[in-house]
């Protein structure tokens, strides 16, 4: 039976059909964090997004698609997320071993673009035939043509929800509308979380943010109301508040590989700020496997409150 | 990770897509028998098939749809199977708590029919929106118009497999082509299992059979080749052999309520004959809840080999 | 805000989408019984089902379709139910005045049939364009080809639920499988309620039943378990129990016109047995308008407990 | 490159699209008879058509679906034909090892029927997803409702040809229109071959015939024109002539298991009469495997002319 | 029966249906390299891509579409790939003689474009009616609007896989995002292989690469991790690694016509680096036929290891 916390989280999504609730529950009930309402998800789309060598050369086992799903299973992640090719490469052989999230769109870096736009690279039919519990889609708030992304997400979300799937929205501010600092500014990150929630995402993935406030109108408000944003924990709290006051699952990505202590401290801030967990790609698969397993294990202990 | 036995069973279904494999794995990996390759499933379609009082008066808690799914969850069944109304009554509140099997067709007894035919009462779309892992369909081999049933099953099976669902075929010989004894005759039961397998069912549900051999041509063969059919174990073995030599999951239903010792002895015969388990409705929900939980627990111990 | 009772009733339908919940709520929140969880609904399909003179000659105002909707509005009914023509005749002029239920199938009496089958006379699209909150469909359990009715209902129900409509199932046992007494026998009526619930109906309409028990197998059970069926209140209670233990809305029709005291006593029995109300056609519109208004008002007082 | 004989045979089907030609070529170019224009095909639908024990007890290895496809591959058959379940059980594991023919309809013997009708048990979509080169369908000329069969075949044939598949028609006269002897009468068999050809079958499967002439009008003609029908070779020749004068591939089934010499002599008659080969089920899989391999090898030698 | 190597390769594609596996097996099992897991494929789309004279004047036999398919058959290639017109010109006459790959999109050079985009010139229906085993599609990573290409490929891939076809992705970096040298830079080529694999391609065709590293971020990684890229063999190895660590079939095209020794040395590097073979167009059909046959024969010997 579901824990009280899982039941509480599911109660936020009562407008969804039981199929979608079931798939959200599968994410909540798998792995070492099962039942806690917390998440550690392994996403591996960097091969597409950054290229293979930049992604896998630091730990060449990762060129092999089986490496990642095995890492996610063995470490006890809630789910494994990847583009079509990586999912197809493992879905049959690991059927039932871990919830899968199919990334529906992807973007490469073979153009130097101010306003990047991903391409749809798989479909709801693919998610069903491959046994996925959820689909993922990346929006780039801040780009000139973001409305195409929002509209593409809208159509896919409708279809996914009819089919009983969950929808994970990667909300990554970028583009000509923002300064480089603005991409991770607290106001923009909070805005990104709100957008993803308003677009109907069940799980929302944002980056950790900085103290930077990008938009002038926002700045006035943050100052007027003294919104606390000076610590990472403060900012996580504000982002969670911005995603329906904690009534949507928001998980945070750490981005590029960094040292272990940084990753763990970020997790502490996420936990203490009421965040739902980490989606941790490069920081896990770019480490040697034993180190990755240890790091993921430690992360999970932090989320479970077994470690300060 | 899946156990070796689960992997072996999944290997029989390699022509299916990973979605279907995942849902078969979910059935194999849930409840007290998780990972053993054995099944105890709670089916409750008797309200439709026999009427409410005949089904639920012996234990009136069962009028309430929540009673059954809770019994299935608490006892540790692999799955709960029911028609649309009963599934709708619980799917949202128990999302993720137990694999659900939606019965797609049902038959009432408000006509005295020599050749009964069920009606389709729900759809693949329903199964997806309700978060089910499988759909179920009953065929009546031996009826005059069985070909309509086979064809309806064919269309639904194709659609289910495309959507990544598993298909459970209830194969219950009946109709003007058979004597009353013939309905559970060993030759007819083995034939029913074969038919369900050839029609593409992933899980097959048949009744336990008797020593009776119905068809003259079959009788000659059983005698000529000395096919052992004198004990229940022998007959289970023969039915399993008849369903692709053990390469399809065949589970057995006990039928009307009987005493505990009978039910347990039947389970022993199913186990010893290589059967995959029991689908046990009236014998569980028509008992008082504590007795039902005890019976189901004992059954599971028998299947796990913890009890002789 | 919805009353606690309305919230409780809506909680039984949590697998439905908010559109359907909203439309069930509209039925629960309209008229003099708003918020009580009780229903008095005016249905006028007798022009189709029995012919115009048999239906409207006793009170010729009823030939005019505006008569009925005005009666339903003025008396404070929860809803008005009718076939396509009657709904089209009033939907624009009374838009927003009362919840409308579109009867999707109808049957005339221009053939003397042992096994009647209705025709689909309107559609989900009609229900949407006419602003209806629900669709209605009549099944005849007990007829030889009832499976065609169940399958037609299945397809319409799926479509209605996707469109956020509520589904009302008129479950009227008839046909060659039943004796005349059997049509309203308690076992058969309880079975009819169960069937409608299993088929996914949100509201179920059955006739009041008699002490007659039609089916031999059922009779054994009613006797063995001493199921109380001697009073009308007992029988209402049993029917409510048979529709998911009170977790589906079941309303009762009185049938042909009878004297006021009978109608009121039936309502008392419905109320005391836990029934959800009356769907009362001929007993209202075949009376002169003032009498009808008075009768309906009294009925509502009974259901509100303002009258013994 | 195709042999001259293969090219000649393909030239008879020039109205078909290259996809269908390719799949006919695949049948012609596989196994020990590759390139000869001759066929030995292993069909195993008897589990469905006669029941498992009658089919597989004589050689219990055959309960296992892998047995048959391996026998067909190892013996060098042109193709393996079976219903959905048996094909699904092997298609992934033996992908590319032998051309597969999916039987689209099947008939069981659980009713004693004067006028049997099969059920459609799989589809063109199944044939494509399972990698089959052809679909098979059985008609029963002589039955009362044969037009339903012809019409079902028509629809499936159209769809198969659009998808580039070949169509194999099993044409087995039966039913209330014929005497028992008539089912294999030479006039009826020739008629059955003609019907299958006119219905658009690419490959036609008929039974070997007897000297019996069933129809009075036909009898007059056979006598008037002295059509030679006294030897099996004569009759094969006449059947081949009746299927577009040899411009359609007609293969013969031997039926129930018989002794080796009979089977071989029948093959000689088929060869000498210009037949295209044998479709040999029970006579192969009901023998012990080494005997079956030897028999099939000898048959192939006969068709290749390596043996008298 | 499939060789062990063929079985191993097929095991990488287990999420695909048996139809797709069968067609991949057909590619693996045809021609002189049958069973080795190696490929030499003849592609002739240059008439569309570069114009007829540039393509066929060097060896005018090639203006005739029959020339190419005959060359592919006679030389023992695994397959022949071409646009719709060339395939239609030969599919009927050579049905079954060689696996065909239908190029679904093509691009002409009648515009001087920085960011070329091909047009869809045929369909999955065409592939089926023409008897093709696979479809091919060209993406141009590096172009400004590459996402339209990825999305078109996504839709066609889904449809192809449902129909049991294999998908070949030509991944040719081009466009305003890249320098001329960058188009064949090792980092970009490896990225192109990764993209094609992530997009769900079964076979991937890339160009041989140079030591050039195009992207600054990549350069850092190649240097930091000392990825060996100095020899062609090194680079093939890295590209193979970049396509799921060798678990996707990657074949290499040589590009413009060059001298025989160069072609052979490239093949040696492909072989030694673990590449799966060559797709060799201009270097075969622009040579006189006897030279082309000799060259192709030598290539195949290299891939079989019969030649150093």
Q: Could you give the maximum distance between any two Cα atoms of chain B, in Å? A: 56
Does residue A258 register a pLDDT over 90? no
Q: Which residues from chain E sit within 8 angstroms of residue B15, using beta carbons? A: 17-18
Helices (H), chain D: 4-11, 18-28, 46-49, 52-56, 65-75, 84-88, 124-129, 146-162, 186-198, 216-224, 232-242, 260-272, 282-285, 289-304
**What number is the average pLDDT over the span C164-176?**
97
* Catalytic site residue from C32, C103, C161, C205: C205
Determine the residue among D47, D51, D52, D54 to mutate to test chain B binding: the one whose Cβ has the most chain B Cβ atoms within 10 Å: D52
pLDDT tens, position by position, B14-39: 999 999 999 999 999 999 999 999 99
Beta bridge partners of E278: E40, E252
* Other CB atoms within 10 Å distance of the CB of residue A134: 24
Q: Residue E51, class by beta-carbon neighbours within 10 Å (0-12 exposed, 13-18 middle, 19+ buried)? A: middle
Q: Which residues from chain A sit within 8 angstroms of residue E187, using beta carbons? A: 51, 53
Beta bridge partners of E139: E171
A164–B2 C-beta distance less than 8 A: no
Does residue A254 register a pLDDT over 80? no
Beta bridge partners of C80: C42, C100
Beta bridge partners of B249: B203
Do the Cβ atoms of A92 and B23 come closer than 8 Å?
no
Mapping DSSP to helix (H, G, I), strand (E, B) and coil, where does residue E164 land?
coil
Closest to A84 in 3D by CA, of E161, E287, B37: E161
pLDDT tens, position by position, B286-300: 999 999 999 999 999
Distance from CA of B212 to the nearest CA of A (A): 41
Does residue B256 register a pLDDT over 90? no
Q: Active-site positions of D? A: 205
Which residue's entry shows tokens 């998440």? A39
Spatial separation of the C-alpha atoms in residues D146 and D172, rounded to whole Å: 11
Q: What is the model's pLDDT at position D279?
A: 96
Beta bridge partners of B194: none
Q: What is the model's pLDDT at position C168?
A: 98
Q: Quote the tokens at residue C213.
A: 């028990």
Q: Residue A261, class by beta-carbon neighbours within 10 Å (0-12 exposed, 13-18 middle, 19+ buried)? A: exposed
Chains that touch D (3 or more CB pairs under 8 A): B, E
B31 backbone φψ class: left, alpha, beta (φ>0; ψ -120 to 50): left
Spatial separation of the C-alpha atoms in residues E189 and E206, rounded to whole Å: 7
Distance from CA of B133 to the nearest CA of C (A): 16
Closest to A31 in 3D by CA, of A306, A303, A307, A308: A303
**What is the band of E254 on the pLDDT scale with cuts at 50, 70, 90?**
confident
Does residue B60 register a pLDDT over 90? yes
Q: Residue B289, class by beta-carbon neighbours within 10 Å (0-12 exposed, 13-18 middle, 19+ buried)? A: middle
Task: Round the average pLDDT of chain A to a whole number and report it.
Answer: 97
Task: Round the average pLDDT of chain C to a whole number and report it.
Answer: 97
Q: What is the model's pLDDT at position A45?
A: 97
Beta strands in B29-116 (DSSP E): 39-43, 79-82, 100-103, 105-106
Q: Which residues from chain D sit within 8 angstroms of residue E28, using beta carbons? A: 96
Does residue A255 register a pLDDT over 80? no
Q: What is the CA radius of gyration of chain A?
A: 18
Beta bridge partners of D167: D135
Closest to B282 in 3D by CA, of B270, B296, B269: B296
Closest to E282 in 3D by CA, of E25, E71, E18: E71
Q: What is the model's pLDDT at position D1?
A: 77
Spatial separation of the C-alpha atoms in residues D268 and D307, rounded to whole Å: 9
Q: What percent of chain B has pLDDT over 90?
A: 98
Spatial separation of the C-alpha atoms in residues A83 and A121, rounded to whole Å: 7
Closest to A200 in 3D by CA, of A260, A143, A141, A156: A156
Q: What is the model's pLDDT at position C256?
A: 76
Do the Cβ atoms of B15 and E18 come closer than 8 Å?
yes
What's the number of CA atoms in the CB half-sphere (13 Å) around residue C46?
A: 23
Q: How many helices (H) and strands (E) does chain E have?
A: 14, 10
**What number is the average pLDDT over the span A248-262?**
89
For strands E39-43 and D79-82, give the pairing: unpaired
Which residue's entry shows tokens 């798939």? A23
Distance of CA C94 to the CA centre of its chain: 22
Question: What is the rounded end-to-end Cα distance, in angstroms, of chain C?
Answer: 28
pLDDT tens, position by position, C201-259: 999 999 999 999 999 999 999 999 999 999 999 999 999 999 999 999 999 997 777 89
Chain A residue closest to E115 (CA)? A111
Spatial separation of the C-alpha atoms in residues D132 and D91, rounded to whole Å: 9
Beta strands in chain A (DSSP E): 39-43, 79-82, 100-103, 105-106, 119-120, 134-139, 166-171, 203-207, 249-253, 277-279
Spatial separation of the C-alpha atoms in residues E304 and E308, rounded to whole Å: 10
Which residue's entry shows tokens 């000898």? D298
Question: What is the rounded end-to-end Cα distance, in angstroms, of chain A?
Answer: 28
Query: Please, which residues 43-62 of chain C have a Cβ atom closer than 8 Å to chain A?
Result: none
Do the Cβ atoms of E101 and E137 come closer than 8 Å?
no
pLDDT tens, position by position, E81-102: 999 999 999 999 999 999 999 9
Distance from CA of A16 to the nearest CA of C (A): 7
B23–A131 C-beta distance less than 8 A: yes
Q: Quote the tokens at residue D230.
A: 């006294």
Q: Which of C144, C154, C217 sits opposite B123 (nearest CB)?
A: C154
For chains B and D, having 3+ Cβ pairs within 8 Å is answered: yes
**What number is the average pLDDT over the span D258-270?**
95
The interaxial angle of helices C260-272 and C232-242, nearest 10 deg, is: 50
Do the Cβ atoms of E174 and E116 come closer than 8 Å?
yes
In what helix (H) or strand (E) does residue C166 lie, and over which residues does it extend? strand C166-171
ipTM above 0.90?
yes
**What number is the average pLDDT over the span C109-127?**
95
Q: What is the model's pLDDT at position B85?
A: 98
**What is the band of A200 on the pLDDT scale with cuts at 50, 70, 90?**
very high
Q: Which of C134-148, D244-258, E77-91, E138-152 has the lowest mean pLDDT?
A: D244-258
Distance from CA of C128 to the nearest CA of A (A): 20
Spatial separation of the C-alpha atoms in residues A174 and E170, rounded to whole Å: 31
**What is the band of B1 on the pLDDT scale with cuts at 50, 70, 90?**
confident
C205 is catalytic: yes
Spatial separation of the C-alpha atoms in residues C304 and D12, rounded to whole Å: 83
Does residue B254 register a pLDDT over 90? no
Query: Please, which residues 141-200 of chain A have a Cβ atom closer than 8 Å to chain C?
Result: 162
Distance of CA B14 to the CA centre of its chain: 22
Q: What is the model's pLDDT at position B222?
A: 98
Beta strands in A221-307 (DSSP E): 249-253, 277-279
Mapping DSSP to helix (H, G, I), strand (E, B) and coil, where does residue D169 land?
strand
Q: Give the phi and the psi of residue D296 in degrees, each rounded to 5.
A: -65, -40
Spatial separation of the C-alpha atoms in residues D232 and C211, rounded to whole Å: 73
Do the Cβ atoms of D148 and D138 come closer than 8 Å?
no
Distance of CA D14 to the CA centre of its chain: 22
Please name the residues in contact with A139: beta carbons below 8 A apart, sequence gap of 6 or more. Answer: A146, A149, A150, A153, A169, A170, A171, A172, A195, A196, A199
**What number is the average pLDDT over the span E274-290?**
96
Spatial separation of the C-alpha atoms in residues C79 and C72, rounded to whole Å: 7
Do the Cβ atoms of D25 and E95 come closer than 8 Å?
yes
C17–A17 C-beta distance less than 8 A: yes
Q: Quote the tokens at residue C74.
A: 């003025």
**What number is the average pLDDT over the span B247-271?**
92
């Amino acid at each position: 039976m579901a824990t009280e916390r899982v039941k509480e989280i599911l109660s936020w999504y009562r407008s969804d059909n039981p199929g979608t609730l079931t798939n959200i529950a599968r994410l909540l009930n798998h792995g070492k964090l099962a039942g806690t309402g917390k998440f550690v998800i392994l996403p591996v789309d960097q091969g597409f997004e950054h290229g293979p060598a930049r992604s896998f050369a630091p730990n060449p086992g990762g060129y092999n698609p089986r490496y990642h799903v095995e890492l996610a299973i063995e470490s006890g992640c809630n789910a494994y997320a990847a583009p079509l090719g990586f999912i197809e490469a493992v879905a049959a052989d690991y059927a039932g071993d871990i919830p899968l999230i199919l990334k529906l769109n992807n973007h490469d870096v073979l153009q130097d673009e101010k306003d990047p736009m991903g391409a749809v690279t798989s479909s709801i039919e693919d998610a069903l035939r491959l046994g996925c519990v959820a689909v993922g889609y990346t929006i780039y708030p801040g780009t000139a043509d973001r409305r195409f992304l929002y509209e593409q997400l809208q159509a896919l979300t409708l279809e996914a929800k009819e089919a009983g799937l969950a929808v994970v929205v990667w909300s990554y501010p970028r583009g000509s509308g923002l300064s480089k600092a603005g991409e991770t500014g607290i106001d923009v990150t909070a805005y990104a979380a709100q957008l993803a929630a308003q677009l109907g995402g069940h799980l929302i993935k944002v980056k950790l943010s900085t103290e930077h406030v990008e938009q002038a109108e926002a700045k006035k408000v943050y100052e007027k109301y003294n919104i606390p944003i000076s610590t990472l924990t403060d900012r996580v709290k504000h982002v969670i508040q911005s995603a329906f006051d904690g009534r949507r699952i928001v998980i945070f990505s750490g981005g590029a590989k960094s040292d272990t202590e940084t990753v763990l401290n970020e997790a502490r801030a996420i936990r203490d700020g009421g965040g739902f967990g980490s989606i941790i790609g490069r920081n896990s698969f770019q480490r040697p496997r034993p180190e990755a397993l240890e790091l993921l294990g430690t992360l999970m202990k932090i989320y479970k409150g077994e470690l300060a």
